[in-house]
Amino acid sequence: MFTPCPTERSQQIADRVERFVRDVVAPYESDPRCTAHGPTADLVLELRTKARAAGVMTPHILADGSHLSQHETAAVLKRSGLSPLGPVAVNTMAPDEGNMFLLGKVATAAQKARFLDPLVRGEARSAFFMTEPAEEGGAGSDPSMLSTTAVRDGNDWVLNGRKKFITGAEGASVGIIMARTGDGERAQATMFLVDLPHPAIRTERVLDTIDSSMPGGHALVLIDGLRVPADQVLGEVNEGFRYAQVRLSPARLSHCMRWFGTVTRADEIARAYATTRKAFGKLLIDHEGVGFMLAENLIDLQQAALMIDWCAGVLDTGSAGTTESSMAKVAVSEALFRVADRCVQILGGNGVSRDTIVDQAFRELRAFRIYDGPTEVHKWSLAKKIKRDTLGARQHG
């Protein structure tokens, strides 16, 4: 299920991406190079070579370097997600998609040439180093708890700290590191661009997590005496938290777009099963329990699609969309998880096997309810806004 593409160019791009993902990428889903820590580097290279030949590499960024609108991007990224490998193949995957967006907005011309261009070409992967070990009191959902430090030393900055759940750190060529650069009443942070691998950045281990779609998995990383030249500061010093917001709202929504595609595919598989498999003398779909689950899937998918397109439209006005992206992230992640859960139930034993992508859709969506801010944190933030707006209106009423 897809809402109509907003423009003719996005329709054409989305159609090309869908054909490529269904016809070329989907057959790779059973490839043994799809590991517990994501597709291997050689599988990524093979898929991207085919994507480049098909003209669907980084489809949301045009040949002149301009970016599709968020509404157009939604149309394309939904199609890329029709396979868990689709976003990897066509270069719309997190964290690269969000990092490309941020670099396009903030990086200097020299930084774009060095760090952004290889990402857009699909020749490199990146990692965003922000989350820290909770057991050490580091930053998670509350970025003000950032404990990694950056201290000025001549023309360099020296960074020290540990990061956790760093997606794609293993095998990445470009790193964006968030570190504390000021204290006082309000914490301050700065973003730094680094070439990877680097001897001062060491992966302690790649974590075993419930999801498995992202190349390199999620790593625990030690940053020990990393020297970064001043010309590799991304944007301005002490503006890291502001830049994080530039990245986070579109990135939250992009996750919604991609996983919408994957869960749409899971629903297709469940529908096909329910309309061919018989039990107790009739098709599964004719049993009310199964038919109602598929009806609920239809409702949840339509609501998720509308929420994505609504938030994309808000971002396209130039708004930061912080509130709207929180609302979309909660609504879409929860709705898509319900759909994935029902698909597992409809398939029965087949739903918990690796014979289809349904079990992976379930696992990925369970993780997404936490990634990019747990549902509860977004609800808490929205409740604070409700209180602030209501009390403010009362005072001025």
**Is residue 279, in this structure, part of any structural domain at all?**
yes
Supply the range of the domain harboring residue 154. Answer: 126-238
Indicate the burial class of 135 (C-beta count within 10 angstroms; 0-12, 13-18, 19 or more). Answer: exposed
What's the whole-number average pLDDT of the chain? 95
- Return the SS3 of 133: coil
Between helices 288-316 and 322-347, what is the axis angle to 10°?
160
**Is residue 334, in this structure, part of any structural domain at all?**
yes
Would you call the peptide bond into 197 cis, given omega within 30 degrees of 0 as the criterion? Answer: yes
What pLDDT does 155 receive? Answer: 94
Do 152 and 53 fall into the same domain? no
Cβ(95)–Cβ(128) below 8 Å: yes
**Is residue 117, in this structure, part of any structural domain at all?**
no
* Residue 124 pLDDT class (50, 70, 90 cuts): very high
Provide the CATH number for the domain around residue 335. Answer: 1.20.140.10
Indicate the burial class of 372 (C-beta count within 10 angstroms; 0-12, 13-18, 19 or more). Answer: buried
Instruction: Please name the residue that has the structure tokens 């329990």.
Output: 289
Do 381 and 258 fall into the same domain? yes
Checking if the pLDDT of 126 tops 80, the result is: yes
Do 146 and 32 fall into the same domain? no
Distance from CA of residue 97 to its chain's centroid?
A: 8
d(CA 11, CA 180): 43
pTM value? 0.94
**Is residue 161, in this structure, part of any structural domain at all?**
yes
Percent of the chain surpassing pLDDT 70: 98
**Is residue 109, in this structure, part of any structural domain at all?**
no
pLDDT mean over 60-88: 96
Do 266 and 390 fall into the same domain? yes
Geometric angle at alpha carbon 228, from 225 and 231, rounded to 5°: 165
Provide the CATH number for the domain around residue 22. Answer: 1.10.540.10
Cβ(55)–Cβ(335) below 8 Å: no
DSSP letter for each residue of 350-384: GGGSSSSSHHHHHHHHHHHTTTTS-HHHHHHHHHH
Do 30 and 133 fall into the same domain? no
Checking if the pLDDT of 185 tops 60, the result is: no
What pLDDT does 307 receive? Answer: 98
Write out pLDDT tens, residues 29-59.
Answer: 999 999 999 999 999 999 999 999 999 999 9
Q: Which residues contact 28 (CB under 8 A, 6 or more apart)?
A: 34, 43, 47, 83, 85
